[in-house]
Amino acid sequence: MTSVQRPTWTALDDKAVAISRALAADAVQKVGNGHPGTAMSLAPVAYTLFQRFLKHDPKNPEWLGRDRFVLSCGHSSLTLYIQLFLSGYGLSLDDLKAFRTADSATPAHPEYGHTKGVEITTGPLGSGIASAVGMAMAARYEKGLFDPQGKTNLFDHNIWVIASDGDLQEGLSGEASSLAGTQELGNLKVIYDDNRISIEGDTHVSFTEDVSARYRAYGWNVFEVAALANGNVDRDALERAMEKAEAATNLPTLIRLKTVIAWPAPKARGTSKSHGSALGADEIAATKIELGLDPKDTFIAPDDVVAHARKVIERGAAASAKWESEFATWAKSNPTEAALLSRLQKKELPVGWENSLPIFSSDKEIATRAASGKVINAIAQILPEFWGGSADLGESNNTTIEHGGSFLPSTSQMAGADPYGRIIHFGIREHAMGAILNGIALHGLTKAFGGTFLVFADYMRGSVRLAAIMDIPSTFVWSHDSVGVGEDGPTHQPVEHLASLRAIPNFAVVRPADANETAIAWREILTRQKPAGLILSRQNLPVVDRTIYASAEGVAKGAYILKDSDGTPDVILIATGSEVQYAVAAQALLAAQGVQARVVSAPCIEWFNQGSDSYRESVLPSPIRARVSIEAGIAQGWREMIGDCGVAISLEHYGASAAAGHLFKEYGFTPENVVSAALSSIKKASR
């Protein structure tokens, strides 16, 4: 890690910290709501980080060589916004005045893609620090792509995090922090704001553990910094701890920093009220007197202070220019790696990469989880940026890259350990896996996936939702998708999960019907570069004979006519995943009765809805009101597609411990029941 010469701390820096505290109080007071206390007490911490430690270029916020900063306690967004203002990222004083108001650049919680300098959307506590683990993992994996021999420090940078008591109380952070220790992520530096206050008051009503001991047990370096006698942050001691953290590249580091919330507000400091409420005009005036500021002034930002703080622009520009010069030299000496990096920065895929995807024969059945495993390994041969794993279920959901090596630190004694390995062992930590995938996606260059059983998507929902909010290409692989799980019983048989996941805006739920649909689904997920969940079967499924039925290319449109009727359809049968086979069989039975049925495979309703009106009408003509949906889950969401005359063959209760074939038959997932439903729908439509 390149050492940085830190400028001498001056009276203007002290004044900048005081101004930062006052701006936090004023911004919340103006809008009438928010979280002033933490932003006030953390002002010296954030200022020290942005001015003296963080490797960044405010005028080039996407600089590849930059450190990343994650404000895990997103409710304290002013902690970040004020430093972005002072550092010259483009935020203005008016933006701070517009805090938490409509269309402002300073929303209540930091939003990725909305405000320059914001690396990640945070708010749900624990998610930021967990995704920071993903960023740190991504940084190491990328190092392996471009500089596995360690000949340059171009690809070495830190992930800095500010986290709160609330972050460390959430189980998500514990899952991720445990894995970070195992991975020995020396590029991860967390400053823990130990102010012992939350909304309900003293955190000791529920949180009395020794956090330092816990993190040491995880395998982290831990440095403790006490507050000064007057309650203020001991900034000098903090800086010494940050220097130690910067030098500690063997393990992740936690700096446990004692602070007093809302310091130096005379009455509000150390109180839960200051956590989530405006301080009031009188208290703010008294605070400004404590800070040596004029109590009559609001949104104070003296030119000399701003100019001093924005010298970081010059330092950042010099650092990035030096990096770019060194990078140019490296690129000449490493043309293959440089070409790869250029492609990844452009978010491009190699020309013709999709030709490597396997094509499956219809002569034998194969579970879509097994087909996905073969597709994953084919993709891995072409895309070095492609890596991933599962929550201890690699053999079950087929997420292992053969001969990929286990992503583990160089000190690991485990078989196959490789610091740049392609197989991520997340452990039984579904929520952390989701958040880590988000962090990897946000880091920007590689494509990672993580797998578990669909029923455990419940444990991941917060992370999946954040991926959708941020519109990042996190890929979730969920196998064992229905009562087809069989004997494991209702605890492992998803029923409501497909509908629940489809309810998440901007998230694609992809449930392929066979092996070839699975291959095209993977192609589309990687090409679209959007958040998606791939839903796969445990049990073997027929591979559709594409010489008789339509091409699996239809997956790209979300839903397509798999097999049309001989004439105008009397009824449309719409199915997903393992239930498509029942629609196909029912079509033949209906034809024997003189009923014309169209079979539609609908692997991704979201992609279908994004298509043109004309295409959707061609697949589901509005005059044909007789429709049947067939899916082994609750029917919620299908009414929109099948209409008032439609019949949904669904599962409106939990499953049981029995063989898959027995359960499908008992619950009505048979060709005969599809026929009955089709006739019923036709009758409704004729009224």
Q: Give tens-digit pLDDT for 346-377.
A: 999 999 999 999 999 999 999 999 999 999 99
Q: Is the dihedral of CA 86, 89, 93, 97 positive or negative?
A: negative
Indicate if 523 and 378 belong to the same structural domain: yes
Residues in the chain: 687
> According to the model, what pLDDT value does residue 188 have?
98
Distance CA 173, CA 435 (A): 10
- For residue 305, the tally of other CB atoms under 10 A from its CB is 20
Boundary-marking domain end, from 317, 337, 364:
317
Q: Are residues 504 and 394 in the same domain?
A: yes
Q: Quick check: is 580 in a domain? A: yes
**CA pair distance 262, 196, nearest whole angstrom:** 12
Mean pLDDT of 456-468: 98
* 136 domain-assigned: yes
User: Is there a domain that residue 5 lies in?
Assistant: no
pLDDT in tens, 314-328: 999 999 999 999 999
Q: Tell me the percentage of the chain whose pLDDT exceeds 90.
A: 99
DSSP secondary structure letter of residue 52: I
Give the integer Cα–Cα distance in Å for 650 and 636.
Answer: 9
- Same domain? 488 vs 575: no
pLDDT band at 4 (very low <50, low <70, confident <90, very high): low
User: Among 510, 507, 444, which Cα is nearest to 478's?
Assistant: 510
The region that residue 290 occupies, defined by phi over 0 for left and psi between -120 and 50 for alpha, beta otherwise, is alpha
**CATH number, position 625:** 3.40.50.920
Q: Are 152 and 259 within one domain?
A: yes
3-state secondary structure of 200: coil
Residue 83: is its pLDDT beyond 90?
yes
| Positions marked active-site | 430
Count the domains in the chain: 3
Q: What is the pLDDT of residues 140-153, one digit of tens each?
A: 999 999 999 999 99
559, 530: one domain: no
Residue partners of 479: CB distance under 8 A and separation at least 6: 368, 369, 372, 393, 396, 397, 398, 451, 452, 453, 454, 535, 536, 537, 538
Under the banding of pLDDT at 50, 70 and 90, the label for residue 1 is very low
Q: Which structure tokens are listed for 52?
A: 């003296």
- Do 519 and 644 lie in one domain? The reply is no
Are 531 and 560 contained in the same domain? no
| pLDDT above 70 (res 623) | yes
On whether both 276 and 365 belong to a single domain, the answer is no
Question: What is the maximum alpha-carbon separation in the chain?
Answer: 90
Return the pLDDT at 386: 98
User: With contact defined as beta carbons under 8 Å apart, do 68 and 443 qualify?
Assistant: yes
User: Across-strand partners of 508?
Assistant: 532
Q: Is residue 389 part of a domain?
A: yes
> Confidence band (pLDDT; 50, 70, 90) for 418?
very high
Last residue of a domain, one of 259, 291, 317: 317
Q: Is residue 4 part of a domain?
A: no
Can you give the pTM of this predicted structure? 0.98
Same domain (yes/no): 380, 300: no
Rounded to the nearest integer, the mean pLDDT of the chain is 97
Query: Which phi and psi angles does 222 have, rounded to 5°?
Result: -130, 125
Pair (158, 23) in one structural domain: yes
Out of 266, 300, 317, a domain closes at: 317
Domain housing 199: 11-317
* Whether residue 463 is found in the same domain as residue 592: no
Residue 278 lies in a domain: yes
Query: Would 87 be classed as within a structural domain?
Result: yes
Residue linked to tokens 């956590």: 275
Q: What is the CATH number of the domain that holds 137?
A: 3.40.50.970
- Sequence-distant (6+) residues with CB within 8 A of 151 are none
| Beta strands 627-630; 571-575: pairing state | parallel
Asked if the structure places residue 671 within a domain, the reply is yes
Same domain, 528 and 559: no
